[in-house]
Structure 1
Amino acid sequence: MNLKIVFFHLNLLIKIYSGTIVISAHHKPDADGKFEDQNNDEIIVSISIAECDMRCSLNPRCVSFFYNSLTKLCIVHSNPFTYTVITKSGTGWRFYVTRDRTGRCPDNFFLYRQLDFCYQFMPSLMAAYISCPLGTLQRIDTEEKQNYTMKITANIELVYDDAICMQGKNTGEGWKFLDGTPMTYFNWNWNHPKFDSNQLRMIRNKNYVWFATADNKYCSYLCEYP
């Protein structure tokens, strides 16, 4: 496998010419001096930032990584830390977030390759006005995707203190996604669903259980592509 590494100021562009992976890693200077080793997906000692970036590109769970230029420690995460607090600090740490460059995802979307999940965080608004100009409202169709959503929105209440809306509609013939595909995975609260609704939401302070509610309430949400 032929590896080419190109540096663009604060950005690192990793290209792995296997025909499958092209990832760019972007430095986030606001997080300099901070790091997180809890809930990591891999910790290694790397001789350089380039090696750390390469390890990230080879790990399908990697969405971001922390690198310490003094200790050479590389911490790989599946979390972009958009809505998760980075809890630790120390000298020499830098934080990088990856972006897909294969064309699989639009610009400004994150790609979690483990689930082939392209997603974008959206602001809180009334559920009736949810819009995804690129892609559709996120669907939760497996326990793994439910758990991943919980992980990447762990501290979203610091910005948007609302439930998280997702796809789901009671058609009278069972719950279905927007394209008509029957839903087979559910994480209902013990007394739900109570009534027909086109709005499903996860309630963060109830361990992300599902509620069916009216569309006149506010929620934050994720768009996924396609």
Structure 2
Amino acid sequence: MGVVLLRCRGLSHMLLLLLTVSRSDSDPCRVGQWFQDPTFKNCLPADVNTTSSTAVDSKLRCAARCQKDARVGQWFQDPTFKNCLPADVNTTSSTAVDSKLRCAARCQKDARCNSFFYNDVSKMCVRQWMVYVSTDNMKFTFGWRYFRFTSDSCPRLHNTAEHENYVIDRVSVTCFRVVTSLWLPWVAARAACSRNGDRLAVLEPVEKARFVVDFLNINKVFTKFSSSLVIGASRPQHLWNTSLPASGPDLVWENGQRVNYTATAPFWYKGRPNNKDKTDNVLGMKADKKFLWDDFKESADRVFICERPLSSG
């Protein structure tokens, strides 16, 4: 259990917020929630000089600044989604809370929550497993604002299209980035990820694969760039351009683990992998087939997905 003192100027009253932390090595994203201690209403430590405090427009931004200082991430309000809500969201199942801060706290406490929508008018909070980077699946609904989790370990990239920025999945404790501005052969794509401290995406366990496939399908922007993209699995290079062994497909993830064809069966395009003409040596997705998996030639130029582990430091 840890306690952090938060102080900011720019509110009508001084408030003390405490960060209660419950963390484990297996889940570094579970960083607790903010608690407003009513004992300290209209109080401030005697030795605090408010002239050195920071002006912010809400408790949420104040909490985000404090949380960023602790290097455990922050919530980013994406202005693209002002007055927007996913078309398939039923607001009757949303939760009433009195501020964006409490909505953020509920989302952060829920390990499956990667983003949330908050309505400043109705004071309703909608937590989301999915992360949105395009408005293709949105409907106009007044008052809603969209927030998603970011982290210092996966910083926002400036001068980069929003859909190419890192996206965090707190369940798999991983950041993903879909690179659409470069079309590269598989080996060059692997090197491009590595130069940034990433690797081509490893989509196991199944929950991790489901998040990425759903993310690509919901954010339809990705279907506009290429009919296919590649991820981090390949045949051992000494077997490239040879027939598949009698034991069956032999794709291996970038982490050294063999692809589990039984567990990942729902993600494969019919009849794949088939190593057509003995030249399909790497794993990818068919954007024109709802991002189902297929084995591709490694020499063709394609867009690709990088990933990096999400850490709290």
Tell me the TM-score range normalised by the shorter chain.
Answer: 0.7 to 0.9
1:214 equivalent in alignment to 2:277: no
1:141 equivalent in alignment to 2:200: no
Asked whether the 8 Å contact 1:82–1:152 carries over to 2, the reply is no
> In structure 1, what is the equivalent of residue 260 of structure 2?
184
Q: CA deviation at 1:25?
A: 0.8
> In structure 1, what is the equivalent of residue 126 of structure 2?
75
> In structure 2, what is the equivalent of residue 106 of structure 1?
154
Classify 1:177/1:33 alpha carbon distance in 2 versus 1 (closer, same or farther; 3 Å): same
Greater strand fraction, Structure 1 or Structure 2 = 1
- Secondary structure in 2 matching 1:47: coil
Asked whether the 8 Å contact 2:76–2:149 carries over to 1, the reply is yes
Aligned partner (choices 173, 180, 185) of residue 127 of structure 1: 185
Q: After the TM superposition, which of the residue ranges 171-180 and 140-149 deviates more from structure 2?
A: 171-180
1:30 equivalent in alignment to 2:95: no
Aligned partner (choices 94, 100, 104) of residue 49 of structure 1: 100
Matched letter for residue 200 of structure 1: L
* TM-score normalised by L of structure 1: 0.81
Q: CA RMSD in A?
A: 3.0
Aligned partner (choices 226, 231, 235) of residue 170 of structure 1: 235
* Number of corresponding residues: 219
- Secondary structure in 2 matching 1:167: strand
Q: CA deviation at 1:59?
A: 1.4
1:85 equivalent in alignment to 2:168: no
Structure 2 Cα separation of the partners of residues 152 and 204 of structure 1: 12
Q: Structure 1 vs Structure 2: percent identity of aligned residues? A: 18
Q: After the TM superposition, which of the residue ranges 145-154 and 206-215 deviates more from structure 2?
A: 206-215
Residue deviations 1:83-113 (CA, integer Å, cap 9, x gap)? 5624211221111121125xxx331333211
Classify 1:29/1:207 alpha carbon distance in 2 versus 1 (closer, same or farther; 3 Å): closer
Greater helix fraction, Structure 1 or Structure 2 = 2
Asked whether the 8 Å contact 1:100–1:110 carries over to 2, the reply is no
Asked whether the 8 Å contact 2:83–2:140 carries over to 1, the reply is yes
Structure 1 Cα separation of the partners of residues 55 and 100 of structure 2: 11
* TM-score normalised by L of structure 2: 0.61
- Secondary structure in 1 matching 2:150: strand
Asked whether the 8 Å contact 2:202–2:255 carries over to 1, the reply is no
Residue deviations 1:11-33 (CA, integer Å, cap 9, x gap)? 734468xx9x9331111122211
List alignment gaps of at least 5 residues for structure 2.
Answer: 4-17, 20-33, 35-53, 157-165, 240-244
Aligned partner (choices 284, 301, 306) of residue 223 of structure 1: 306
List alignment gaps of at least 5 residues for structure 1.
Answer: none
Structure 2 Cα separation of the partners of residues 60 and 148 of structure 1: 14
